Amino acid sequence: LNKKTTRIGNADDIARHLGRNHLETDPETGKVIGVFNTAFDLKVAKKEKEASVNHLQFFSGETLNQLKSIKADMVNSGYTVGPQSAYSVVRVETVESCGKDSGVSLAVFKRPLEKNRSHAGLRGLPLDNSNAELRERLAQAASRVIFAAAEL
Amino acid sequence: MTNAFVAFNSAQSLLKWHPGFKPAPDAPFSSRDYELANVLNQLGTRSEQRPQPPQRPTTVVSPGSDPLGARLFDARGQAKAIAASLSMHLTADWRTKVHRQIDELLEATEWDNDTGILDPRTMRTFLRFVIFADIKAVPSLGLSPAGNMVAAWRRDTRRLTIEFLPDDMCRLAISHFTGDDPSIFTFAGKVTSARSYLQRESFSLE
């Protein structure tokens, strides 16, 4: 199979790296309490067609070790992983359900990069980020399991 | 070009004090110069009546230094200047908490080069909404990839998220973060209408 078209099964998990600007924090304590609904927005100016995520099961071991490997690859590839950023982990099935409930068909495909081997793409998102319900559902799903990047 | 500039200025100042002034036949400026000066004078008066945006200097990056850091520094300064211009409507505690979050959002060590830097027009929309809707609660702040200001407030089991756009426009969503109620309410339009929408949904931000 061509890696570029290999779909990731819905029993697997994906991790989305989120900068501080996508993280909802408690305004009093600064503690991360959720994810904003702009977290899966495509970059319209760059004509992005899919959201970058990472395939957790590409690496073996516990979730924490898988995330550590993903972070190491991302840092190696020159990507900025800020100390206040985080990784949100979501089951592919949940992502697909968010799409279905919002009238959109979503799927995750493997998109390995030379130095970011577990890289994957979430396809099917409206290119103009216009589906407000989908944005909110994805944010709800992404708010459930969040790991601080600094602790990985 | 230099001569013409001086001529218009001189003629303009003469007309300002003596609107009916007619040049002597041997005057250094022609009648046409005075006509043009009159037009410029009127244009100048009109533009002076218009409120002018404050001029903010931008940081000039020295060779070898970080241009992104300079852009973020400027964006922070611009956002705070907009907040300062409306400070009489905002409490000191509210401003302090919002400024702290802006500093965090525009921190260079956090920045992904692909992300849009805060659009000051959206910061203005955010503050106008806060003042217009008389909001006392401090929001959690974020930024969309396009550089739009995003704010969220939590009440009971609900979360309100508003993405602020230029020209007083916004997109908002209300959902339940506890997961037991899947209903989602969305609205897009002017921030002035958003206030009425929130009142209808009984989402208080006092």
Average per-residue pLDDT for chain A: 94
Residue B87 to residue B68: CA distance in whole angstroms: 28
Answer whether B188 sits within 8 Å of A132, measured CB to CB. yes
How many contacts (CB atoms, under 8 Å) link A and B? 107
Write down the pLDDT at residue B17: 46
Measured between beta carbons, the chain A residues lying within 8 angstroms of B139 are 27
* Position with higher pLDDT, B201 vs B64: B201
The DSSP bridge pattern shows strands A119-123 and A146-148 to be: unpaired
Write down the pLDDT at residue B1: 41
pLDDT tens column, B145-181: 999 999 999 998 999 999 999 999 999 999 998 877 8
| Among candidate residues A14, A12, A2, the one with its CA nearest the CA of residue A121 | A14
Write down the pLDDT at residue A6: 93
**pLDDT greater than 50 at residue B2:** no
The stretch A48-67 carries a mean pLDDT of: 96
- Quote ipTM for the complex: 0.91
**Closest Cα in chain A, distance from residue B58 (Å):** 23
Asked which of A53-57, B32-36, B122-126, B133-137 is least confident by mean pLDDT, the reply is B32-36
Measured between beta carbons, the chain B residues lying within 8 angstroms of A79 are 112
pTM summary value: 0.78
Q: Is A96 on the interface with B (CB under 8 A)?
A: no
pLDDT tens column, B88-104: 778 888 888 888 898 88
**pLDDT greater than 80 at residue A102:** yes
Write down the pLDDT at residue A2: 44
Query: What residue of B is the nearest CA neighbor of A17?
Result: B112
Write down the pLDDT at residue B4: 41
Residue B121 to residue B126: CA distance in whole angstroms: 9
Of A83, A137, A140, Cβ closest to residue B109: A83
* Percent with pLDDT over 70 in chain B: 67
Q: Is A143 on the interface with B (CB under 8 A)?
A: yes
What are the tokens at A49? 């067609």
Asked which of A70-84, B11-25, B83-97 is least confident by mean pLDDT, the reply is B11-25
Q: Is A45 on the interface with B (CB under 8 A)?
A: yes
pLDDT tens column, B57-76: 666 656 666 677 788 888 88
Residue A138 to residue A134: CA distance in whole angstroms: 6
